[in-house]
């Protein structure tokens, strides 16, 4: 079984935070106002961790499911090869430098990968 997150985006400009992606994180019974009856809602979370609720009955007419493709995170070897093949630092040919390069404790890969995960 493969379980993936479900990302949605409001397509109706009258909805809360239209055109912003949010993830469905659960289903809850919600009573919006004291005088309204409870309704079954998707619980959604935005990137800034704000929470909102979408009535399931209104979902199809007001929201689109956003299909996110998985990002390819480069391996350490792929990343270092790109660096060595395409960077020229102060006239040093990194292809020549690569022959003696050791990355066992340099932390280069970990520090660069932090940039991808911001």
Do the domain assignments include residue 31? yes
The reply to whether 46 and 84 lie within a common domain is: no
- CA gap 47, 29 in Å, rounded: 23
- CA gap 110, 76 in Å, rounded: 9
Tokens read off for 79? 């990343």
The reply to whether 51 and 86 lie within a common domain is: no
Long-range contacts of 53-58 (CB under 8 A, 24+ apart): 53/28, 54/8, 55/30, 56/27
Q: What is the mean pLDDT of each run of 10 residues along the chain (118 residues)?
A: 82 80 91 86 91 88 76 74 66 56 58 62
Q: In terms of pTM, does the model score above 0.75?
A: no
Return the H-helix or E-strand segment holding 83: helix 76-86
CATH number for the domain that contains residue 41:
2.40.10
Q: Provide the number of structural domains found in the chain.
A: 2
- CA gap 79, 59 in Å, rounded: 42
Q: What does the pLDDT read at residue 1?
A: 80
Q: What is the extent of the structural domain holding 84?
A: 76-116
């Amino acid at each position: 079984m493969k379980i993936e997150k479900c990302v949605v985006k409001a397509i109706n400009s009258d909805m809360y935070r239209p055109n912003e992606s949010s993830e469905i994180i659960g289903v809850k019974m919600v009573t919006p106002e004291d005088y309204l009856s409870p309704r079954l809602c998707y619980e959604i979370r935005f990137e800034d961790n704000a929470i909102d609720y979408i009535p399931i009955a209104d979902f199809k007419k007001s929201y689109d499911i956003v299909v996110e493709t998985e990002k390819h995170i480069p391996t350490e070897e792929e990343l270092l090869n790109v660096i060595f093949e395409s960077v020229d630092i102060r006239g040093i040919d990194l292809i020549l430098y690569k022959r003696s390069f050791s990355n066992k404790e340099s932390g280069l890969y970990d520090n660069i990968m932090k940039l991808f995960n911001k």
